[in-house]
Amino acid sequence: MSQSNGMTNLLWLQGASCGGCTMSILESGSSGWFDELRQFGINLLWHPSVSEETGEEAAEVLNSVREGRVPLDLLLLEGSVARGPNDSGRFNMLAGTGRSIYHWMLDLAPRADYVVAVGSCAAYGGVPAAGANPTDAVGLQFEGADAGGALGAGFRSRLGLPVINVAGCAPHPGWMMETILALTSKDLSATDLDTYGRPKFVANHLAHHGCSRNEFYEFKASAETMSERGCLMEHLGCKATQAVGDCNQRSWNGGGSCTKGGYACIACTSPGFEDAQNFLETAKLAGIPVGLPTDMPKAWFVALAALSKSATPRRVRLNATADHVVVPPGRTTAKRTP
Amino acid sequence: MTRITIGPFNRVEGDLEVRLDVESGRVQRAEVTAPLYRGFEQILEGRPPLDALVLAPRICGICSVSQSVAAAAALRHAMGTEAAPNGLLATNIAHAAENAADHLTHFYIFFMPDFAREAYASQDWYQETRERFAATRGSAARDALPARARLLETMGIIAGKWPHSLAFQPGGATRAIELGERVRLLSIVTSFRTFLERTVFADTLENMLSLSTADELDRWRAGRSGDFAHFLRLADSLALSELGKGPGVLMSYGAYQGADCGLFPRGIVGPDMVVEPLPLSQISEDVSHAWMRDCSSDPAHSNTVPDPDKAGAYSWCKAPRLSGQPVEVGAIARQTVAGQALIADLVAPSGTNVRNRVIARLIETARIALAMEQWTRALRLSEPFCAPSQEMPDGAYVGLVEAARGSLGHWVAVRGGKIERYQIIAPTTWNFSPRDSLGVAGPLEQALVGTDVGEAGARSVAVQHVVRSFDPCMVCTAH
């Protein structure tokens, strides 16, 4: 049950969460997540959704870690840390223990070789921190885009890493499991994280990369209402050119992604995504989207957009505003209409 | 009298604490606490109404489609528009997939592992049960998790991803399904049926659904393999039909949408087993024992404002009541209101209890697997899937759906293009409600009274069966 027998001890707790990250990771592994963990020598010390130990047995598991009787390799938190009211953490008590998740994390995090924030809530605060943030919710080491959070900007886990932020709402099961396994084999170091603590193997890609609507993007052939096939960036709020994630390069649920599903990327891997408004409507200034691709000068974008719109093939233009393919690919003898 | 506190109460969705007053080994009084509050209703206030489609699903990672569908239904009501019929069918398929996945997750991951606990080591069924159902180590999880993942591939086709999809809109669903995708959907549904028929029931779904009495069920299960028959043997051995009796009135808002008014009807049913219309205007919320500030008891006019130091309060959960009474919701309520013959025959003599709740969930799973196949075939592939959005005039609107765990309602008030108020009453808010101002206990609080905990006290596995038989979703409860 501990490092001495070669197993990696993993403790997973839930703060102000929706449980969605757990639901997502339960899809991992061809013979199920539990089998996958075993195959890699990972001992699930306790997980609130799946473990047998309940009540005082579960509290004993947590106390054994807090008191250093059981070594902790990986500490994962799903959900934000609700610090309120008045820094008491009482909006999120860990049942039966008389202590808040906030205070449990302050105790447990220094005990762990690595600390992982699972999902955008644990990473940056996420949806519970939206609007007026009624529970004073923060991430483990970030409050939105600002370093700090529940553990403080200076926190380092026992092996010297900051909190590893597997952002996303919910994150892809692969992002979570690959992070766990890279840590288990000690293959992930501080240089493998971006400035928001996200593993670069996810954060070095944009959600836009591999988007099935790419041809529509190239020609700025845009969908105008929901369910149309065109690019979702110009009118329907898509932030995939600004949000990190390999969402469109790997399949979700056997073949999907948000943009394949017909709706905009809302940048759920980004700190503070929850504070946007009118998610499915593109904010514009003088007819030009405010959120342009991260690394592209505005003038270039405007010039290229005008040029590509003038060159849009009829097939692409007509399909963009249809919900079914109305013009299939193929050579056409018809005259091109402007 | 001894007071014991049980927590963390795991293998439920979210956070739960239970306090029991025990005398002579029996529960005399129970208090149920939801110890997590996030404030979704406060977060939604002042936002553009359509933002509810992004935020409200994130109340819950296990039933995000249900939350989406409730929000979309409320906003559709606000727009005074009709959804594209294809969009409703696609929504039904995805919603059914989520509900079925929830029922599987509950049975295999949350509920059955309790029978593999050491407390039952002396039972003659223990070794077999432990090998099959032990938490995270049993062979059942190796069968159930891949089947669940395959079922959720429905979401990849219809909804982009799960949990937390934006595909479910007031006008329908955002993705038109093509012929190849319909075939893939049918393939997924067929795989699911195969899992149910081989592993869960060891019989065809048609045979399962032809069972209409408790006697037929007894004859059917004799000598049968499969996890459902295994559960029925455990239920007999432990007299689970006498454990965890509910408050007596069952409610359903009606499940799944369509021109023919959905698959399962709306209504209420009491101990006399007569199904009656649901008096919607009689739904109220009481906050006398919740850490919430007093306001209107009508969900259409109330706000949610926390009051963490309130005297006498013990939960972040409000106390919903129908005509002043607590009611039980969930698959057992849906199937009883729908007049499903077997469930009605089980509920008539013994009411709701640990055994009947589990049976109702599995029978419902068989029913929705068949419905998913019909809905998939009914899609008219050349027709639209989403009607355009309309302006939302000022007013108060409601969206009522059935999540896996029971009746879910969103009440939204729109003023000047913004959300003025947003109130949610979730299934577990009904089932795990605290006491009201008259001191009447909520359904679980009532169901726990009389439970024999013997010498085990807080370790009593009977208490765990009662609590988990409701398949509580605590993250939905207080939101």
In CATH, what number is assigned to the domain containing residue B411? 1.10.645.10
Q: Are A136 and A12 in a shared domain?
A: yes
B306 to A91: CB separation less than 8 angstroms, yes or no: yes
In chain B, the residue whose alpha carbon lies closest to the alpha carbon of A137 is B38
Same domain, A196 and A230: no
- Please give, rounded to a whole number of angstroms, the shortest distance from the CA of A303 to a CA of chain B: 31
Question: ipTM score of the complex?
Answer: 0.97
Q: Is B63 annotated as a binding residue?
A: yes
Between CA A145 and CA A136 the distance in angstroms is 15
Q: Do A72 and A138 belong to one domain?
A: yes
Between chains, do B62 and A23 touch, taking CB under 8 Å as contact? yes
CA-nearest residue of chain A to B163? Answer: A20
Q: What's the rounded Cα separation, in Å, for the pair A41 and B220?
A: 42
Last residue of a domain, one of A143, A178, A202: A202
Query: Was B424 annotated as part of a binding site?
Result: yes
Contacts of B54 in chain A (CB under 8 A): 266, 279-280
B261 labelled ligand-binding:
no
DSSP-based three-state secondary structure for A256: strand
Distance from CA of A273 to the nearest CA of B (A): 11
Domain with A230 in it: 205-323
Measured in angstroms, the CA of B230 and the nearest CA of chain A are apart by 20
> A4 pLDDT band (50/70/90 cuts)?
very low
With 80 as the cut, is the pLDDT of residue A2 above it? no
Residue of A57, A226, A268 with shortest CB distance to B386: A226
Residue A338 pLDDT > 60, yes or no? no
Domain boundary among A135, A167, A202: A202
B268 annotated to bind ligand: no
- Nearest-angstrom CA–CA distance, A97 and A57: 11
Question: Distance between CA atoms of A230 and B87, rounded to whole angstroms?
Answer: 19
Q: Residue A286 — pLDDT band, cuts 50, 70, 90?
A: confident
Are both A90 and A165 inside the same structural domain?
yes
CB contact under 8 A, B55 and A85: no
Q: Is residue A36 part of a domain?
A: yes
**Does the distance separating the beta carbons of B386 and A90 come in below 8 Å?**
no
CATH code of A145's domain = 3.40.50.700
pLDDT digits (tens, 9 = 90+) for B360-392: 999 999 999 999 999 999 999 999 999 998 999
| A263 → closest Cβ in B150, B166, B172 | B166
**Between chains, do B161 and A94 touch, taking CB under 8 Å as contact?**
no
Residue among A93, A279, A323 whose CB faces B384 most closely: A323
What confidence score (pLDDT) does residue B127 get? 98
Look at residue B261 in the predicted model and tell me its pLDDT.
Answer: 62
pLDDT of residue B307: 97
The mean per-residue pLDDT over the stretch A130-143 comes to 97
Verify that A120 and A232 share a domain, yes or no: no
pLDDT at B146 (0 to 100): 98
* Assigned domain for A337 exists: no
Sign of the CA dihedral A254, A255, A259, A260? negative
Q: Using a CB-CB distance cutoff of 8 angstroms, which residues of chain A are in contact with residue B169?
A: 226
Angle at A232 between CA A230 and CA A233, to 5 degrees: 125
Residue A336 lies in a domain: no
Is A318 inside any structural domain? Answer: yes
Whether A218 and A152 map to the same domain: the answer is: no
**Residues A296-320, mean pLDDT to the nearest whole number:** 91
Q: Which of A18, A254, A264 comes nearest B58 by C-beta?
A: A18
Q: List the structure tokens of B208.
A: 């399962």
What integer pLDDT is reported at residue A290 of this predicted model? 83
Whole-angstrom distance, CA of residue A299 vs CA of residue A297: 6
Q: State whether A100 and A155 are in the same domain.
A: yes
Nearest CA in chain A to B139: A35
Domain-embedded: residue A231? yes
Q: Are residues A243 and A100 in the same domain?
A: no
- The total of structural domains in chain B comes to 1
| pLDDT score at A95 | 98
CATH code for the domain in which residue A255 is found: 4.10.480.10
Burial of residue A217, with CB atoms counted within 10 A of its CB: 0-12 exposed, 13-18 middle, 19 or more buried:
buried
Question: Are A31 and B150 a contacting pair at CB < 8 A?
Answer: no
The verdict on A142 and A166 lying in the same domain is yes
Helix axes B227-237, B214-221, angle to 10 degrees: 110
Chain B residue numbers with beta carbons less than 8 Å from the beta carbon of A137 are: 38
Assign 3-class secondary structure to B64-118. Answer: HHHHHHHHHHHHHHHHCCCCCHHHHHHHHHHHHHHHHHHHHHHHHHHHHHHHHCH
pLDDT at A5: 65
**Domain closes at, from A202, A230, A256:** A202
Q: What is the chain A residue with the closest CA to B137? A: A34
Asked if pLDDT for residue A232 goes beyond 50, the answer is yes
CA distance B172 to chain A (A): 9
pLDDT in tens, B97-123: 999 999 999 999 999 999 999 999 999
**Rounded CA separation B346/B360 (Å):** 9
A338 in any annotated domain: no
Q: Do B175 and A48 touch (CB under 8 A)?
A: no
pLDDT over 90 (residue B187): yes
Mean pLDDT for chain B? 97
Is B157 within 8 Å of A251 when comparing Cβ atoms? no
The predicted-structure confidence for B236-247, as pLDDT tens digits, reads as follows 999 999 999 999
Of B8, B36, B174, the CB nearest to A59: B8
Instruction: Say how far apart CA B409 and CA B423 lie, in whole Å.
Output: 8
Backbone angles phi, psi at B208, to 5 degrees: -60, -45
pLDDT band at A54 (very low <50, low <70, confident <90, very high): very high
Instruction: Test A227 with B174 for CB contact under 8 angstroms.
Output: yes
Host domain of residue B48: 2-477
**Hey, are the CB atoms on B50 and A266 less than 8 Å from each other?**
no
Query: Inter-chain contact A93–B15, Cβ cutoff 8 Å?
Result: yes
Q: Is A258 annotated as belonging to a binding site? A: no
On whether residue A145 sits in a domain, the answer given is yes
pLDDT of residue A1: 39
Would the CB atoms of B42 and A251 count as touching at under 8 Å?
no
B458: nearest CA in chain A? A55
- Who among B9, B17, B145 is closest to A32 (CB)? B145
Q: Are residues A12 and A140 in the same domain?
A: yes
Q: Is the pLDDT of residue A337 over 60?
A: no
Closest partner residue to A92 (CB to CB) among B36, B62, B165 is B36
Query: Cα(B113)–Cα(A322) distance, rounded to whole angstroms?
Result: 50
Q: Quick check: A16 and B161 CB within 8 A?
A: no
Query: pTM (2 decimals)?
Result: 0.97
Chain B residues with CB under 8 Å of A51 CB are 10-11, 135-136
Residues A145 and A59 in one domain: yes
A85 contacts in chain B (CB < 8 Å):
306, 308
- Contacting residues of A for B148, CB less than 8 Å apart: 26-27
Q: Which two tokens stand for residue A112?
A: 């762990």
| Mutation for A interface: B36, B191, B479, most A CBs within 10 A | B36
Residue A92 and residue A240 in contact, taking contact as beta carbons nearer than 8 Å:
no
Q: How many C-beta neighbours within 10 Å does residue A276 have?
A: 17
Q: What is the DSSP pairing of strand A72-78 with strand A8-14?
A: parallel
Nearest CA in chain A to B86: A227
User: Which residue is closest to B464 within chain A, CA to CA?
Assistant: A54
The closest CB to that of A95, out of B17, B45, B176, belongs to B17
Q: Which residues of A touch B141 (CB under 8 A)?
A: 32, 34-35
Total count of domains within chain A: 2
Task: Kindly state whether residues A225 and A107 are assigned to the same domain.
Answer: no
Select from B47, B161, B171 the Cβ nearest to the Cβ of A258.
B161
A56 in any annotated domain: yes
